[in-house]
Amino acid sequence: MREHWTSRLGFILAALGSAIGLGTLWKFPYVTGDNGGGLFVVFYLFFTLFLGIPLFIGELILGRRAQRGAVGVFASLSGESSPWRTVGWFAVASSFLILSYYCVVAGWGLNYLMLSLNQMYELQTPLQISGIFKTLSHSGDISLFWSAIFLLMTMGVIYQGVRKGIELWSRILTISLLVLLVGLCAYSVTLEGFGAAVSFLFQPHLQTIKPSGIIEALGLSFFTLSLAQGIILTYGSYLKSSEDLPKTALIIGGMVVLVSMLTVLTIFPVIFTFNLPLEGGAGLIFETLPLLFKSLPGSMVLSTIFFTLFVFTALTSSMALLEVVVANLIDLHQWSRRKAVLYSTLAAFIVGIPSALAGSQDLFKDWLPMYGTNFFNTIDNLVSIWLLPLGGFFTALYIGWRLKKGLVKEEFLQGTTLGYLFTVWFFLIRWVAPFAVVLIFLQKGGFINLDKLISLKYT
């Protein structure tokens, strides 16, 4: 018999643990900065509400119905040799690629944890502190070292398959993170740059957003909700038929949005107060937060707590990423857990080496001039701009057009008190999600110009 979650809370916490991670804490702020705030945030919220959460429900439905992992879901619902299985493999590939650079960022978090404990706040000036990231990202060996340590931690957890331990830890850590973020955000509100930050973040003012920025908002929304990466499908398969799927998806989506908003509202006032560049790139959070800590009493303690939580939220997500790969190797090739965990961790480490060395340029020296961005960003773009939106597109097509509507409806209604939402949800999955993704790709490919069509341009 397939294992099921002990309780609904257990499932929500595990799914929340996977969803809230570096996407919300690290990626959301810097991608928002790079894309000029305002409109980008609006797009992110729009995509999350109208595409992300509906797809989240869709993945849960597929998983619960099929009771299999990412690839198995499509095999079980459409036949073992169905081409739809490719969608599952897409998801596994995305998870694997994300893991390869996710551990680099989480490793930087470990480095900052170590720095916090090593009197970084006593020995250096604020500018020196925010400059540490540059040294770190240019140091390939240190980045690689911490990334390996983090991967080993992830491997240790997944190797034991400790669902219970993780459920419990996720609960404590997610709540602590929220409390700390609310506290930090309350302080940021008092900073001089708060007003400027709010207007930058929430006013769709005098700016243009590039088509690639729109896809990035879509990709980011899927990334933060852990969609199109096989995880929600898999977690759905461990659910009992009495669960209320739409409600669960709304709770998780709401929490992810809340944490993203708290994070940017904490970080951007610091940027405006200290006149830091808005396009800080991947180092943004590591450059701004230490400045905030430095200006507060008990900086060392605050910073230590924050980076501990940072590493743990990264861990509850990276476990899920690794588990997607491992579960499919076990499921499809009958590998032992031990073998699957060892090989996938090793592979993620090897594929992650150029990402860890991206800043130092110790490897692939000509990558940057050739591709216009370093290896780390190239992989991240490949996933966020192509794989995740395409994965979401095919999942929506599958639910909206390939499966029988009766079956989908039955599974949606099973256990929910929100049955009246079915028509709207199905409409979004069948018509809005696939066509929105196609439109965005047409725009990106230069076939149409949405900016002109809907005069989206503000000058």
Binding residues vs ligand PFF (CB under 6 A) = 18-19, 21-24, 95, 223-224, 226, 229, 231, 317, 320-321, 324
Residue 293 contacts residue 303 (beta carbons within 8 Å): yes
Q: Measured between alpha carbons, how far is 367 from 361 in angstroms, rounded to an integer?
A: 9
How is 89-125 classified by DSSP, letter by letter? HHHHHHHHHHHHHHHHHHHHHHHHHHHHHTTHHHHS-
Taking the complex as a whole, the smallest distance from the CB of residue 35 to ligand PFF amounts, in Å, to: 17
Cβ–Cβ contacts within 10 Å for residue 200, how many?
Answer: 23
Taking the complex as a whole, the smallest distance from the CB of residue 401 to ligand PFF amounts, in Å, to: 25
Number of H helices, E strands in the chain: 25, 0
Q: Measured between alpha carbons, how far is 102 from 255 in angstroms, rounded to an integer?
A: 21
Residue 320 contacts residue 158 (beta carbons within 8 Å): no
Taking the least distance from each CB to ligand PFF, the nearer of 180 and 198 is 180
Q: What angle do CA 12, 263, 444 make, to 5 degrees?
A: 90
Taking the complex as a whole, the smallest distance from the CB of residue 20 to ligand PFF amounts, in Å, to: 7
Cα separations in angstroms, 97 against 87, 108, 154, 315: 15, 18, 15, 16
**Paired tokens of 31:** 């991608």
Residue 113 contacts residue 274 (beta carbons within 8 Å): no
Taking the least distance from each CB to ligand PFF, the nearer of 224 and 344 is 224
How is 195-251 classified by DSSP, letter by letter? HHHHHHHH---S----HHHHHHHHHHHHHHTTTTSSHHHHHHHT--TT--HHHHHHH
Cα separations in angstroms, 89 against 70, 250, 382, 427, 449: 7, 27, 16, 26, 32
Taking the least distance from each CB to ligand PFF, the nearer of 156 and 204 is 156
Taking the complex as a whole, the smallest distance from the CB of residue 227 to ligand PFF amounts, in Å, to: 8
Taking the least distance from each CB to ligand PFF, the nearer of 129 and 324 is 324
Taking the complex as a whole, the smallest distance from the CB of residue 317 to ligand PFF amounts, in Å, to: 4
**Paired tokens of 260:** 């993203």
Taking the complex as a whole, the smallest distance from the CB of residue 197 to ligand PFF amounts, in Å, to: 22
Q: Name the residue number minimizing CB distance to ligand PFF.
A: 23
Taking the least distance from each CB to ligand PFF, the nearer of 15 and 270 is 15
Taking the least distance from each CB to ligand PFF, the nearer of 181 and 231 is 231
Taking the least distance from each CB to ligand PFF, the nearer of 76 and 317 is 317
Taking the complex as a whole, the smallest distance from the CB of residue 232 to ligand PFF amounts, in Å, to: 8
Taking the least distance from each CB to ligand PFF, the nearer of 185 and 327 is 327
Using alpha carbons, select from 283, 286, 227, 215 the residue that is nearest to residue 256.
Answer: 227
Taking the least distance from each CB to ligand PFF, the nearer of 231 and 357 is 231
Taking the complex as a whole, the smallest distance from the CB of residue 79 to ligand PFF amounts, in Å, to: 26
Using alpha carbons, select from 33, 99, 30 the residue that is nearest to residue 314.
Answer: 99
Taking the complex as a whole, the smallest distance from the CB of residue 316 to ligand PFF amounts, in Å, to: 8
**Paired tokens of 449:** 């110009």
